[in-house]
Chain A
Amino acid sequence: MRPRNLWPLVALAALLIFNMLFTTGFARIELRDGRLFGTLVDIFQNGAPVMLLAVGMTLVIALGGIDLSVGSVMALSGAIAALLMTEQGQSVPVAIAIALGVALGVGALNGALVTYAGIQPIIVTLVMLVVGRGLAQTLTHDQKISFEIPAFEFIGNGTVLGLPFPALLVAVVALCVGLLLRKTSTGLYIEAMGGNPQAARLCGLRVHVIRILAFMACALCAGLAGLIAAADIKEADVANAGLYLELDAILAVVLGGTSLTGGRANLVGSLIGAIFIQTLTIMLQMRGVITEHTLIIKAIVALAVCYMQTPAFERLARRLRPAEGSA
C-alpha cells in the first residue's frame, strides 16, 4: 500500500534538497548564546502560526467544513492581549486567558451558526473574517499597539533548550490534537460526520456538539497563533496580523492530502504541508524574489503538489512508467 503521506513528503524533501544544494547559507545552523540560528530554525520559528492554523483547520475540514476566519481571529486575539497588557495593565496570564477566551467565543459562534442556523460554513466564517478584523480595528482605533513585556514576548521568540518556543508550542498542540484524533473517540466521530453526516446522526452521534467543538478548537489554534505573531514582533498590528493566512492554512491542509469534502483527518500531512509552504516562502525571500512573484510561484507550486494527489496524476504516472521501462 502507498504510504499515506508519500507525495507531500516527496515534495518537501525535493524542496529541501534543492535549497541545500543551490541556496547559499540555507543549511547552515549555528549555536549562539545557547540558541540555534539558521534558516531551518527560522522555518519553524516563522512557520509556527501557519502550522497552528493548519492543525485547527484539519479538524474543521475533516468534518466537511471550512474556516475562513482564522486570520482575523489571529488579529483579534493579538490586539486584545496587547490592549489588556498595555492600556488595562493586566498581567500576562490574564491577558492570554482572555484573548484565547474571545477566540473560543468566535469559534463557538461559528459552530453554532453553522449547526443550528444551518448556514454554510464558508458564508459564516467569511462574515466572521470581515467582522473579526473590523472588531480588532475598532478596539485598537486602527493603531498598532507596541509593548515591551519580556514575559509575553517569550511566546514569540523565547527558546527552550536552544529551540524556538513557538515550534515547541506547535509540537505540544499537534501532539494533543493527534492523540485526540487517534486515541479517543473524537477522531472517529469527526471522520464519521465528515464521511456521511446522515449516517452519523442515525448512529447517535452528538453532531451539533461535535461540530461546535471542532470550530472552537480551530479558533483556539488561531488565537494562539495570533499571540505568537504579536509577541514575535512586539506589537499588535491589526491591519496585517494573520492577513491571508487562512489561505495558507487551507493550502497546507490540502497539500497534506486531507480532502476538502471531509471524512479524513491527516494531521501529519497538514503539518508537512505547512512546513512546505514556509520553506518555499523563506527560500524565495533568500533568493531575492520580489513579493509579487513569490505569490505567483507559490500558487503554481501548490497547484502542482495538489495535482500530484489526484487520480488523474496517478493514471498519468502509470502510463509513463512502462514507457520509461521500454525506452
Chain B
Amino acid sequence: MGQNGAGKSTLIKILTGVYPRDGGTITFEGRDFRPVSPGDAQRKGMSTIYQELNLIPTLTVAENLFLGRAPRRWFGIDWRAMRRKAEEILATFDLKVEVDQPLGTMSAAVQQLVAIARAVQTEARLIIMDEPTSSLDSHETEVLLGIIGRLKARGLGIIFVTHFLDQVYQVSDRITVLRNGAHVGTYEASQLSRLELVSQMLGKVPEELEPALHGAPESQGPAVVAAQGLSRRGVEPFDLTVHAGEVVGFAGLLGSGRTEAARLIFGADHPSTGTVNGSLPRSPRQAIGQGMAFLPEDRKADGIIPDMSVRENIALVVQRKLGFTLSRAQQEKIAQEFVTKLGIKTPSVEQPVRLLSGGNQQKVILARWLAYEPRFLILDEPTRGIDVGAKGEIERVIHQLSQKGLAVLFISAALEEVLRISHRVAIFRDRKKVGELTRTTLPEVMKVIAGEEKPSPEATKSAGEERNAP
C-alpha cells in the first residue's frame, strides 16, 4: 500500500529486472535472485501482471495464453492442442469463454484473468499484481479476489498492490506500507487497524489536530450547482450542492472515485443516471454554458494544447464570449492581464505552452478558465507536480475568487491542503461518496476515509439540510 509516488511500481520493477538495483539483495526461494530482464524473472518463477496489461488484444485468448510457447507438431503450431489446453486451463479458473475470440473483445475482468492464467502457466511461484482491480466492477473484482484465494491455497506467493482498503483486508495476510520511496513498515493484516493503515500511508498521526475546516464561509450565496443521483460505472450515485462563495473539497484515496465524480458533474464523462441543475449533463460545452469550468487532473493529456502559444491557450474558452471574429490584440490583452495577475513566467505570450514549466502550464490553464469568468470552478489536483511557490499562489487565487462569490470544487490527494482550502469536505471511499463534513479535523476525515467511523450524525444532518435548502 502507498500513495502516489510511494515507490510501489519502482520496487516491482526492480524485483522483476526492469530496472537495475542500486544496492541490496533479493532472496527468492532461499537463493540470491538477480533477474536481468522481466523475461528472465519470469523464467525463474516470478511473474508480474501490470496495470496496463501486457497482452495483445488482437490475438485470441488461446494465442495470448501460449504466446511464445505454443504446443508444436512436426511443422508449425498444433492449434487444436492449443485450444484444448487453453480451455482446460481457463476451466480451473471457472472461466468459460470462446478461446478463439480476440482477447480485446473480452471484458476487462476476463483479460485480467487470462493474464493471471498465463502467469500461472509459466510455472510462476510468485505473482505480482499491480492494481489488478482498478478497471473491474464489483462483481468482477469478487471473481478475481476468489481466484487469488485459490492461488494462495495452491501454494503460490502473491504480492497484491491496490488502492482499495476493503480488498487489501480481504486477501492479504501481511501489509507493507511505502511512503515517499521509503519502507514504512510491514504488519500482520489482522494486527493493523484501517485507521493505522491510512495514517501510515499519509504519514500523519491521527492525533494531529491541525489543520481543521473553518466551517461555512462568512457570506454563503445561493446554490450554484446541485447534482442529484449522479452515477456511472465506477461511481455510485451521489448528491452534491455547492453554493456561491463556497469551497467544497473532495477527499479520498487514489481511485476512490473523487475525479470520476467531478468529471460527471462537468459532463466530461456521460453519467448513466442523475441530474445537474435539473438536467442530465451531456457535454462539457453544456456545462460551460451554465458557467462551469474544469481544470483537469492530467494537464498534459486533457489540459494544454502543447504547440499553441500561451495567448491561444488562454483565449480558447473565452473566445466563445468574444465572438466569431477574432482580434489578436484583444487576446493579447487578456493573456497579458492573466500572465501578470497569476505570475505566469514566460518570455512572451507567444511562447508555445509546451516550453513552460509544469506550474506555469497549470497557471495558463487556470487563466483559460478564469478569463471566462465562471460561476463554478472544478479544480482536480491543481497543485500536483508543481513547486511550492506556484502551489501557494494557486491557493491564494482560489481563496480570493471564492470571497468574490465563485463556487469552487477542490480535489486533492493532499488532505491537509483540502482542509486548509475548503469550507466543507465530501469524502469518497471505494468509488462511493460516504459522507460530508462541515466542521471537522484531520483525524476525523481520516477515520471516514478508512471506513472506521460513520460521519458524526450532526455533520450528516447539516449536509442533509443543505441539500434540502432551496
Q: Is the CB of A204 within 8 A of B301?
A: no
Q: Mark B396-422, 1 if CB is under 8 A from A, else 0.
A: 000000000000000000000000000
Q: Is the CB of A204 within 8 A of B285?
A: yes
- Among B281-317, those with CB < 8 Å from A are 283-285, 287-289, 294, 296, 301-308, 312, 315-317
Q: Is the CB of A204 within 8 A of B320?
A: yes
Q: Is the CB of B302 within 8 A of A264?
A: no
- Among A258-308, those with CB < 8 Å from B are 263-264
Q: Is the CB of A188 within 8 A of B319?
A: yes
Known: A185-B319, A198-B302. 11 other contacts (CB 8 A): A185-B325, A191-B305, A192-B305, A192-B316, A196-B304, A199-B304, A199-B305, A200-B316, A201-B283, A203-B316, A204-B283
* A/B interface sample: 28 pairs, CB < 8 A: A182-B326, A183-B326, A185-B322, A185-B323, A185-B325, A188-B315, A188-B316, A191-B305, A191-B308, A192-B308, A192-B316, A195-B306, A195-B307, A196-B301, A196-B305, A199-B296, A199-B301, A199-B302, A199-B303, A202-B266, A202-B284, A202-B294, A202-B302, A203-B317, A204-B287, A204-B288, A263-B308, A264-B307
A4 at interface by CB-CB < 8 Å: no
CB distance from B338 to the nearest CB of A (A): 16
Give how many B residues have a beta carbon under 8 Å from the other chain's beta carbons.
30
Minimal Cβ-Cβ distance residue in A for B301? A198
Neighbouring B residues of A200 by C-beta, 8 Å:
305, 316
Q: Is the CB of B289 within 8 A of A204?
A: yes
CA distance in complex: A205, B305 (Å) = 13
Neighbouring A residues of B325 by C-beta, 8 Å:
183-185
B324 at interface by CB-CB < 8 Å: yes
CB distance from A294 to the nearest CB of B (A): 36
CB distance from A177 to the nearest CB of B (A): 14
A78 at interface by CB-CB < 8 Å: no
A187 at interface by CB-CB < 8 Å: yes
Q: Is the CB of A185 within 8 A of B305?
A: no
B268 at interface by CB-CB < 8 Å: yes
CB distance from B430 to the nearest CB of A (A): 26
Set B284, B294, B305, B320: member contacting A263, Cβ < 8 A: B305
Neighbouring B residues of A196 by C-beta, 8 Å:
301-302, 304-306
Set A191, A201, A202: member contacting B312, Cβ < 8 A: A191
CA distance in complex: A264, B312 (Å) = 12
CA distance in complex: A205, B326 (Å) = 16
CA distance in complex: A203, B268 (Å) = 10
B368 at interface by CB-CB < 8 Å: yes
Neighbouring B residues of A182 by C-beta, 8 Å:
326
Neighbouring A residues of B320 by C-beta, 8 Å:
185, 204
Neighbouring B residues of A195 by C-beta, 8 Å:
305-308
CB distance from B403 to the nearest CB of A (A): 26
Set B288, B315, B324: member contacting A184, Cβ < 8 A: B324
Neighbouring A residues of B306 by C-beta, 8 Å:
195-196
Q: Mark B259-282, 1 if CB is under 8 A from A, else 0.
A: 000000010100000000000000
- Among A96-147, those with CB < 8 Å from B are none
CB distance from A257 to the nearest CB of B (A): 13
CA distance in complex: A277, B307 (Å) = 28
Neighbouring A residues of B283 by C-beta, 8 Å:
201, 204
Q: Is the CB of B284 within 8 A of A204?
A: yes
A28 at interface by CB-CB < 8 Å: no
Minimal Cβ-Cβ distance residue in B for A181? B326
CA distance in complex: A191, B309 (Å) = 11
A35 at interface by CB-CB < 8 Å: no
Neighbouring B residues of A192 by C-beta, 8 Å:
305, 308, 312, 316
CB distance from B130 to the nearest CB of A (A): 25
Neighbouring B residues of A191 by C-beta, 8 Å:
305, 308, 312
- Among A227-265, those with CB < 8 Å from B are 263-264
Whether A187 contacts B288 in the complex (CB less than 8 A), given A195-B305, A204-B317, A204-B320, comes out as no
Minimal Cβ-Cβ distance residue in B for A193? B305
CA distance in complex: A185, B323 (Å) = 8
Q: Is the CB of A187 within 8 A of B326?
A: yes
